[in-house]
Amino acid sequence: MEDVVQLLLIEELEDIEVRNRRVHRRRLDPFNELSDEYFIKVFRLSKALAQFLVHLLKDYIAPANRSTDLDITTKVLVTLRFLASGSYQMDVGSNYNFGISQPSVSRCIEEVVNAMNRNEIFNAYVYFPRNIQELNAARMGFFEKYNFPGIIGCIDCTHVAIFPPKVDDDNYPEHIYVNRKNYHSINVQLICDHNLKIINVNALFPGSTNDAFIWNQSNVQTLLRRLHEAGNKNYFLLGDSGYPLRSWLLTPLEYEPRPNIPEHFYNSRHKTIRSTIERCNGVLKMRFRCLLKHKVLHYFPEKASKIINACVLLHNLCIEHNIETPQNEEAEQIDLGVHVPERNHVVERVNPELAAGRNQRNKLITLLQQ
């Protein structure tokens, strides 16, 4: 009996020693010990931008009150590394000598992601044009780049894979997250400007939801409808044929026109400009690999949606600060969001909004040939 007690005591002392080594192990200081180029490769943000983010979030993240607590900077860097790599949390904690346990990493991610999802933080960096001046600026950006009048953004949806919810989950029924490619996902609506900055994101709908349905529930759709009803008709989005044609959302012609006629020129220009949103989606997922299909977010849908929002906010910060897009990182595994659009199964009757959309499109076809 004494031998058993002694053995248990030795094991307990060894556990304490291991914990003490973990607490007192010197952690890497990435700001001083990594080159600028490698820092961006690891965390996706420059050193200056990462420090800016720490300052931005400091009032919403618990400070270190004890010697064993993680400081705010470490919490932010751990979260950035997870979003950038999409690795399992234990790998994030053990890499780069952070020396942090998996439960601590999980708490870091939740705390920092929640901070980035606060309205006063998120809405300051991800927002649709808020007035006529900003609408005009968005329109001018597309016109100067593509010589195509009226465009203020391009819209599409992309799927982000998630771990299947429980079959009997009342809040998140498992079956509604299965998309058309037969994996569980969130169907994320993105709208971007000419510079790949995301001006609207909706990450609330399960993978089985149709793109057009998400759009019809969108605040942006309501805003643009009201704008056109008030007579401001020279602002519109470009979307693929999975969306309903409206004067504020122009889609390609339903048929493929023969070459060298105005309709063919319109469709060709539409496709070229609309690819902006596909490139935006690709850059977003190249930067933040936790969004890639083969990574799979191992979180409930609500938390996965917040992680997607956080990646969008960080993407916009990178755009604003001219952070280069990571290159040659398993590029063949990156889903650029290019897909065959789902045709609307319900044939629309000719209603005033559809007729106005056709009229708007016909005017542009005529204008572009001049």
Lookup result for tokens 């990182």? 329
The alpha carbon dihedral of 154, 156, 161, 167 has a sign of positive
In contact, 305 and 201? CB cutoff 8 Å: no
Condensed to tens digits (0 to 9), the pLDDT of residues 69-126 reads 789 999 999 999 999 998 754 444 445 556 788 888 899 999 999 999 999 999 999 9
Which position has the token pair 């969108």? 218
Coil/strand/helix, residue 269: helix
- Of the candidates 297, 269, 315, 305, the one whose C-alpha atom is nearest the C-alpha of residue 49 is 315
Q: Which two tokens stand for residue 236?
A: 């519109």
Distance CA 132, CA 138 (A): 10
Residue 68 has a pLDDT of 67
Q: What is the pLDDT of residue 118?
A: 98
pLDDT tens, position by position, 344-357: 444 556 688 899 99
SS in 3 state form for 314-336? HHHHHHHCCCCCCCCCCHHHCCC
Is residue 110 a contact partner of residue 298, using CB atoms and an 8 Å limit? Answer: no
For residue 21, pLDDT over 60 is answered with no
Check: CB of residue 114 under 8 Å from CB of residue 59.
Answer: no
Q: How confident is the model at residue 5 (pLDDT cuts 50, 70, 90)?
A: very low
Q: What is the pLDDT of residues 298-308, one digit of tens each?
A: 999 999 999 99
For 298-330, b/e burial (b = at least 16 CB within 10 A) is ebebebbbbbbbbbbbbbbbbbeeebeebeeee
Residue 88: its pLDDT value, please?
Answer: 53
Distances (CA, A) of 63 to 40, 73, 265, 351: 25, 10, 58, 57
pLDDT at 170: 81
pLDDT confidence bin for 22, thresholds 50/70/90? very low
Q: Is the pLDDT of residue 171 over 50?
A: yes
pLDDT tens digit sequence for 253-293: 988 888 889 899 999 999 999 999 999 999 999 999 999 98
Indicate the SS3 state at residue 124: coil
Long-range CB pairs of 38-42, under 8 A, 24+ apart, other chains included: 40/323, 40/324, 40/326, 41/326, 42/81, 42/84, 42/96
pLDDT over 70 (residue 24): no
Helix intervals (H) in the chain: 2-24, 30-33, 36-43, 47-57, 72-85, 89-94, 102-116, 119-122, 132-146, 211-216, 219-229, 262-287, 301-320, 352-368
Place of tokens 């609207």: 200
Given its phi and psi angles, is residue 196 left (phi above 0), alpha (psi -120 to 50 degrees) or beta? Answer: left
What mean pLDDT comes out for the span 337-341?
46
Residue percentage of the chain with pLDDT more than 70: 83
Cα atoms found within 13 Å of the Cα of residue 86, Cβ hemisphere only: 23
Rounded to whole angstroms, the Cα distance separating 239 from 140 reads: 19
